[in-house]
Amino acid sequence: MPRLIAAALAFFLLCPGEALAMHISEGVLPPGWAALWFVVAAPFVFRGIRQINRRKDIDPSYIPLLGIFGAAVFVFSCFPIPVPVAGSTAHPAGTGMSAIFLGPFASVVVAFISLLLQALFLAHGGLTTLGGNTVSMGIIGSFAGYGAFRTGRLLRFNLFWCGFAAGVAADLLTYLSTSFEMAIALHGDQSFWSVLGQIYLAFMPTQIPLSLLEGAVTGGILVYVNKHRPDILRRLKVLGKEVS
Amino acid sequence: MTSLKRGLLASVFLLLLFSPVLAEEEAPKWPGVDETVVGKYAKELGREARDPYINTDQGDLLLFLFALAGTAGGFVIGYYWHKVFVAGKKDLEPRD
């Protein structure tokens, strides 16, 4: 069965569609706002680089995990998934999952690199909006996912449901922050809250089903890793002190 | 090889073989949320997206790059997955 799933995934990945996704496109944010989001993202990226350097010394399997979840965030965040109930396509963020395994700051670095590659080569997002997209998908997505996972652990939820909450929170809050960045920069004479509400609600028919999918994938991967390599979760303190 | 696997492989092969022909058909376009939400609201609010600085959205180039990105991403995931969950797991098992 895993081979069949792998074959199906490979087939899906080898049949790409156009770059249709949620990143804020080139030129949408005015220069001042675009610069501000770079300034906000920079300290998180630098701290993330330090987190990666520190963690790779603690656990030799950290670099392979960085490879797995880094590539997963890149793939998740650029391949459009059709949502039949909405009649449109979008993609998950993947940063909730990477934040759990790699740490939230390291996950920001992974998101930044993925977004940079997508902006450079896949006409996806933009170089001027890279800061804004890093804040929404990298910072908000990672910390929302990590926070939801930790909250779930504190409330003693089953591991799957902790991961599920992380995936859902990362996805929905990424889109909320994308809406926020657009609304605050572009609302003009209109009410900021009204514009924010309109944009966020417009995302919802596509994102609610996708966030549930992202939650299930995140929860499923956590359960898989806990079953096959629980030592990794312990070493990286993913399960905290209350190891299940 | 079971008949199920043979059937699955044959289906995938046929699908790949005829996909260019199927692609010639008028395929219904599923717009992305960048078009239906980001682009739409940006335009309504007075800012339109402009072409990327490196515009790879030219003919089939973008599709090729997506295929390349998917393949590279898939190989990286598969390589490290094997290293951690197959080879790494074997290293942990006690040897007799």
- The CATH code of the domain that includes A37 is 1.10.1760.20
Distance from CA of A145 to the nearest CA of B (A): 21
Q: How many CA atoms lie within 13 A of B76 on its CB side?
A: 19
In a domain, B50, yes or no: no
Cα–Cα distance for residue pair A89/A187, rounded to 1 Å = 25
Domain count along chain B: 1
Other Cβ atoms less than 10 A from the Cβ of B56: the count is 18
Tens digits of residue pLDDT in A70-126: 999 998 888 778 777 777 788 888 899 999 999 999 999 999 999 999 999 888 888
Cα–Cα distance for residue pair A159/A208, rounded to 1 Å = 22
* Residues of chain A above pLDDT 70, percent: 89
In a domain, B37, yes or no: no
In a domain, A243, yes or no: no
In a domain, A7, yes or no: no
In a domain, A20, yes or no: no
Interface test with A, best of B11, B12, B38 (most A CBs within 10 A): B38
Examine the pLDDT at A128 and tell me if it is beyond 70: yes
B74 to chain A, any CB pair closer than 8 A? The answer is yes
Interface test with B, best of A83, A184, A199 (most B CBs within 10 A): A199
Its pTM stands at: 0.81
Residue among B45, B49, B84 whose CB faces A68 most closely: B84
Residue of A nearest to B77 (CA): A68
Tens digits of residue pLDDT in B5-14: 788 788 877 7
B51 to chain A, any CB pair closer than 8 A? The answer is yes
A20 to chain B, any CB pair closer than 8 A? The answer is yes
Cα–Cα distance for residue pair A157/A166, rounded to 1 Å = 12
In a domain, A18, yes or no: no
In a domain, B95, yes or no: yes
**Average of per-residue pLDDT across B66-95:** 84
| Burial of residue A223, with CB atoms counted within 10 A of its CB: 0-12 exposed, 13-18 middle, 19 or more buried | middle
Least confident piece of the model among A52-56, A178-182, B29-33, B42-46: B29-33
Band (B20; pLDDT cuts 50, 70, 90): low
Cα–Cα distance for residue pair A129/B92, rounded to 1 Å = 45
Residue of B nearest to A188 (CA): B45
Band (B63; pLDDT cuts 50, 70, 90): confident
A82 in helix, strand or coil? strand
B50 and A27 in contact by Cβ < 8 A? yes
In a domain, B17, yes or no: no
In a domain, A121, yes or no: yes
| A142 and A108 Cβ atoms separated by less than 8 Å | yes
DSSP state of B27: P
Tens digits of residue pLDDT in A69-86: 999 999 888 877 877 777
In a domain, B62, yes or no: yes
B37: chain A residues, CB-CB within 8 Å: 22, 199, 202-203
What is the span of the domain harbouring residue B89?
A: 56-96
Residue of A nearest to B15 (CA): A11
* CB contact residues (below 8 A), chain A span 167-226, against chain B: 178, 182, 186-188, 190, 195, 198-199, 202-203, 206-207, 225
In a domain, A244, yes or no: no
Residue among B49, B81, B92 whose CB faces A68 most closely: B81
Q: How far is CA A72 from the centre of its chain?
A: 10
In a domain, A201, yes or no: yes
In a domain, B81, yes or no: yes
Domain count along chain A: 1
What is the span of the domain harbouring residue A112?
A: 25-235
Residue, of A61 and A224, whose pLDDT is higher: A224
